[in-house]
Amino acid sequence: MRIFFRGIFTTILNVQRKNIIGSCVCKARKKAKITQIDLAARLQVLGIKIDQAGLSKLENGNRPVTDIEIAAIAKILKVPVSQLFEENNDKLNIATTEV
């Protein structure tokens, strides 16, 4: 957590990640040879309101992502939704065994 002092107002920023799929989105996007601008444009065509800056924040874990956005990203990148979560199971200590 960072605390910034600006005049008489104090801003507290939580620097923890706001999503767990950002790095996988970035890798899948690069593998598909799609730029952030192109992916943002394709998402906009599907009705997702995001621009290149928002996509950059998403990939860096600095922006929350909705389930609708995840589904649209997976569709555009032609990957299963589960692939966007693969690298994160170890970080969260989540078992991937079926029930």
Report how far apart the first and last C-alpha atoms of the chain are (Å, whole number).
37
Q: How far is CA 35 from CA 26, 38, 67, 69, in A?
A: 10, 5, 22, 17
For residue 23, the domain's CATH number is 1.10.260.40
Question: Averaged over 53-67, what is the pLDDT?
Answer: 96
10 domain-assigned: no
Domain count for the chain: 1
Percentage of the chain lying above the pLDDT 90 cut: 69
Domain extent, residue 87, equals 18-92
Q: To which H or E segment does residue 74 belong?
A: helix 67-77
3 domain-assigned: no
69 domain-assigned: yes
Question: Averaged over 14-26, what is the pLDDT?
Answer: 86
47 domain-assigned: yes
Res. 1: pLDDT tops 90: no
98 domain-assigned: no
Judged by phi (left if over 0) then psi (alpha if -120 to 50, else beta), residue 97 lies in beta
6 domain-assigned: no
Provide the pLDDT for residue 11: 47
